[in-house]
Structure 1
Amino acid sequence: MLSRSAPVFYGDLRSHERVPLPFSAFIGFCKQRLQNTDGVCGPCGVNNELERNGMAESESYNESFPYDDAHQQIYLAQVPIMNIENEEHGQLEALRDDIQTPIFLEEKVLSSINLWMNNAEARSSTHYDPHHNLLCLVAGCKRVVLWPPSATPTLYPMAIYGEASNHSSVALENPNFSIYPRAKCLMEYSQKVILHAGDALFIPEGWFHQVDSDEMTIAVNFWWRSNIMSSMLEHMDSYYLRRILRRLTDREMDEALRKDSSPEMLKTKMNMCELLDKREGDNSTDNQNQTCEELDLNGTQEQRNTLHELEPFSIQALHELVSLVHDSVNVADHVEPGQSTSTADSTASVKVEYKKTMTTDSFSLEDDPVAKILWTLDSCTLQSVFLAMARNFPRTLEALILHLLSPVGAEVLTRKFDEIDRRTTEDDRNKFYKVFYGAFDDQFAAMDAILNGKESFALQAFRNVLDKFVGFDLGGPTRGLR
C-alpha cells in the first residue's frame, strides 16, 4: 500500500494505491533504514530477523521499485499468507509453515492469515472488520484504540454502498468537528491497548479500531467468522435488516425524547408547579372564576362548574394549551341570527386562519411548546385536561390536534395514550376516547393527523439511524433528533 498521506494510511481507495512490490524489495527498504541508524539494532530484534532473511546488502532492491523517494510511504497491509476465499492469491503462502495457529483457533474455520509490516511509523485509519480478529505482534510495538459497535454514531462510518464502508469518515489528524460534531466525544467510548512482541489482542467483529505502529513493526493476524454470522441464513437477511432498523429507530426516538427531557424541561415543570401553588394558596372562588373566564369568555355556568372540578395543575395546563391555540389562530365566530354571542365554543362554527409561525414541523421538545406541555403532564392529568377541552372547548381541541400538533407532539401524545391505556380499565378507556374523538367533526381526520405526525417523527429518527450507522443521508429535516 502506497499512501499519499503517510504516515497515516486511510482505507479509502482514493487515499492510497496498491503498488506491485517484491517482498524482497520491501525487506531491502527495512535493511536500508536500519543501516541508516548507524548500526543500532532495530526494535525487538528486527535487525537480526532481517539478517536471517538471507538478503545480501548488495542486492539492488531499488531497481525493483520505481518510487525511490517513497519508501516511508509503503506499508505491507493485509498481505495474505492464507485466504480460503481466494487461495490463488496467497502471496506469502511460503510463510504458512512458519505460523503456528493458536490452540483455541484450531477448531475454527479460518478465513485468512495476513502479514502486516511497516518500516517507518504508520497510523491506520479507524475501521472495523467483518470477522473476529486475533492480532499477534512479532516485532515492534502497536498502540490500538478500540470502540464498541455502540459507538458507531460518534465515528461517522462511510456510506454503506462505498468501497470503504467499514471505515470512519473522521480524519485522524485535525478532525473537522463542524462537519462531525458527534466525534467530539468519541474518545469517551474508547479503550486503549499497547502491544509488544509476543502479545496478542482479540478484536471482536464489528469493533472499530485504530492502530499506531512504531517503525519496523511486524504483525500477523487471524480472521475467522463469528458463530452469529455463520448461523445467519441468507434468506433471512431482509427480515433481520428490517428488525434491526426498527429496533435502532425505536431507540433513536427514545433517546431523542430522553435528551430533550433536560433540566430545562424539569425547570418548566417546576415553574408550573410554583404558579399552581401560589394560585392554590389564594384558594378563592373569584380567582377560579377568573381562570375559567380566561379559558373561554363565552363559557356557560355549567361548563365553569365542570372546569372547577379540575385540580389547579390541570387548570394551569389547560389554560396554557388553550392560550397557545388562540395565539396561533384567529378565531371568528359565525353566529346564527338570534344566537347569543355568549354561545360556547362547543356550539360555535369557527373559522380558523392559521399563522405561518406555527411549529407543526418540529421534531424537538425544546422547540415545541405544545409537545413540551404534553410531556410534562402525567397521563392522569393529561386525561383530565383533554376531557375538559373536549366538553368545553371542542373546536380548540380540534385546532390543537389538526393544526398545532407537531411530529414530536404526536409521538408524545401517543405515548401518553399508551400510559392511559395501561392505567385504566377497558371500559374507562372506551369512555375517554369516545369523549375525546367525539369533539371532532371528522374523527378519522383527527386519527390521521396524530398517526401522520407520529410517523413523521419516526421517519426523522430513521433518517438519523441511516446517518449514524449506515453513513447515508436520506435528506429531509435536520432539527431536533440530531
Structure 2
Amino acid sequence: MELGTCTSKWTVDYLSQAEGSKEVKIHVSAVPQMDFLSKNFVYRTLPFDVFVRRAAEVKHKEYFLSEDEKYYLRSVGEDARKDIADIRKQFPILADDVQIPEYFEKEQFFSSVFRISSAGLQLWTHYDVGTKSEVLDVDNPDLEKYPLFVKAKRYQCFLEAGDVLFIPALWFHNVISEEFGVALNVFWKHPTAASRAIQILDRALKTLEELPEEYRDFYARRMVLRIQEKAYRNDYG
C-alpha cells in the first residue's frame, strides 16, 4: 500500500534536520529490555536532532546512565494527560511524508504515535489501550509463576522498512528493534460502548475514594459482585 515518501526519506540525517532542535521527552534505559513494572528507565529531555543521532549510535560519548544506554521516544500530546498524540501536531514536517492507510472511517481516527527506538531495545509486553503484562521475557517466561502462558498462541513476524502490521485490539504484543527503528502507530476508535463503560467505572472508583475506608471497602466489593453477575457468565458454577 502507498505510505508516502517516509519509507525512503526517513534517514537519520533527514530526521534530525527536518524537525530541528525542539525538545522531546524520552525513555533512557541502561539495559536493552525495558520493564514498565520495575521502571528500569529514566525520563530525560533532549533536543530532537541530538536525540535522533544518539538513538542511532551504539556507543555514546555523551550519555545519562552508560555509554551503551538505549533510547525510546513515544510521542505524546502537548498535555500528556488530556491531548492525544498526533504526528500532524507534534511533528508536522514529518507528517507531510506519511500517507496513513484508510482502514476505517475518518471519524474513527483516534491517534498517531510517532516512535523511535535504539537498536536492540525491547519494549514491555502490553496491549493497546489498556494494561501491561508481567511476562517481560516472552522467549523465557517463568512458567511456574505464569503457567497459563504456555496456552498463549504466538505469532511472530519481522518488519522491514515500509511494512505494515495490523494488531487487533486487546492483543498483547512485544517489540524488539533489531536496529535503529522509526515507526508510526495509528489507533482507531471502536464503535462500541466499551470506552464509555471504562470511563463510567473510573468515575465510580474516584467517587469511592471520597468514602471512609470501611465504606469504600464494602461498596467496592459490592461493585465487583455486580460486575460478575451482570457482565459475564460464571462458568465455575
Partner of 1:110: 109
- Summarize the alignment of residues 431-442 of structure 1 with structure 2, pairs less than 5 Å apart: none
CA contact (8 A) 2:125 2:172 kept: yes
Residue aligned with 1:2, SS = strand
Is 1:22 matched with 2:42? no
Deviation per CA, 1:309-341: give whole Å up to 9, x if none: xxxxxxxxxxxxxxxxxxxxxxxxxxxxxxxxx
Corresponding letter in the other structure for 1:124 = L
2:77–2:85: 8 Å Cα contact kept in structure 1? no
Superposed CA offset, 1:91-128 (max 9, x none): 43442333222233452332221122223212112111
State the AA in 1 paired with 2:190: S
Match of 1:207 in 2: 171
Structure 1 Cα separation of the partners of residues 83 and 184 of structure 2: 18
> Contact 2:122–2:174 (CA<8 Å) still a contact in 1?
yes
CA 1:21 to 1:106, structure 2 compared with 1: closer, same or farther past 3 Å? Answer: farther
Secondary structure of the structure 1 residue equivalent to 2:94: helix
- Quick one: percent identity of the two aligned structures? 25
For the structure 1 residues 10 and 92, does the alpha-carbon distance in structure 2 shift closer, same or farther, using more than 3 Å as the test?
A: farther
Q: Which has the higher helix share?
A: 1
The amino acid of 2:106's aligned partner reads E
For the pair 1:250 / 2:234, whether they are aligned, the reply is yes
> Which SS does the other structure have where 1:176 is aligned?
coil
Matched, 1:179 2:145: yes
Residue aligned with 2:175, SS: strand
Residue 228 of structure 1 aligns with which residue? 192
**Which residue pairs with 2:83 in the alignment?**
86
Instruction: Specify the SS of the correspondent of 2:192.
Output: helix
Aligned counterpart for 2:162 among listed residues 195, 198, 201: 198
Confirm or deny: 8 A CA contact 1:127 1:208 kept in the other structure.
Answer: yes
1:18-417 pair list within 5 angstroms = 18-30=43-55, 32-33=57-58, 66-67=63-64, 69-76=66-73, 78-80=74-76, 85-86=82-83, 91-105=90-104, 107-130=106-129, 166-172=131-137, 174-183=140-149, 185-187=150-152, 189-229=153-193, 232=196, 245-246=228-229, 248=232, 250-251=234-235, 253=236
Contact 2:117 2:180 (C-alpha < 8 Å) held by counterparts = yes
> For residues 102 and 230 of structure 1, do their structure 2 counterparts lie closer, same or farther at Cα, with a shift above 3 Å needed?
farther
How many angstroms apart in 1 are the aligned matches of 2:166 and 2:226? 29
Secondary structure of the residue aligned to 1:29 is: helix
* RMSD (CA atoms): 3.7
Structure-1 residue corresponding to 2:7:
none
8 Å contact 1:29–1:71 — kept in the other structure? no
Which AA in structure 2 matches 1:86? D
Secondary structure of the corresponding residue to residue 182 of structure 2: strand
Q: 1:27 is aligned with what amino acid?
A: V
Task: State how many pairs are aligned.
Answer: 186
Cα distance in structure 2, aligned partners of 1:72 and 1:112: 29
Structure-2 separation of matches of 1:31 and 1:231: 38
Residue 207 of structure 2 aligns with which residue?
none
Contact conserved, 2:85 with 2:113, CA < 8 A, in 1?
Answer: no
Amino acid in the other structure paired with 2:91: L
Output the amino acid matched with 1:79. S
Q: Distance in 2 between matches of 1:80 and 1:12?
A: 20
Distance of aligned partners of 1:126 and 1:186 in 2 relative to their CA distance in 1, 3 Å threshold: farther
Tell me the distance in 2 between the aligned counterparts of 1:198 and 1:110.
21
Tell whether the 8 Å contact from 1:11 to 1:125 is kept in structure 2 after alignment: yes
Q: List gaps (5 residues or longer) in structure 1.
A: 37-60, 131-164, 254-410, 412-482
Shift of 1:220: 0.7
**Structure 2: how far apart are the matches of 1:84 and 1:99?**
26
Matched residue, 2:5: none
TM-score (norm 2): 0.62
Distance 1:81 1:99 in 2: 19
Residue of structure 1 equivalent to 2:12: none
State the Cα distance separating 1:199 from its structure 2 match. Answer: 1.5
Please give the secondary structure, in 2, of the residue aligned with 1:7.
Answer: coil
SS for the counterpart of 1:95 is helix
Flag the structure with more relative contact order, 1 or 2, with Cα contacts below 8 A and sequence separation at least 6: 2
Q: Report the Cα offset of residue 68 of structure 1.
A: 6.8
Give the Cα separation in 1 of the matches to 2:183 and 2:125.
18
Report the structure number with the largest CA radius of gyration: 1
In the alignment, structure 2 segments of 5+ residues that lack a partner are 1-26, 205-222
Report SS of the residue matched to 1:221.
Answer: strand
Alignment TM-score, normalising by the size of structure 1: 0.33
Is contact 1:110–1:224 with CA below 8 Å preserved after alignment? yes
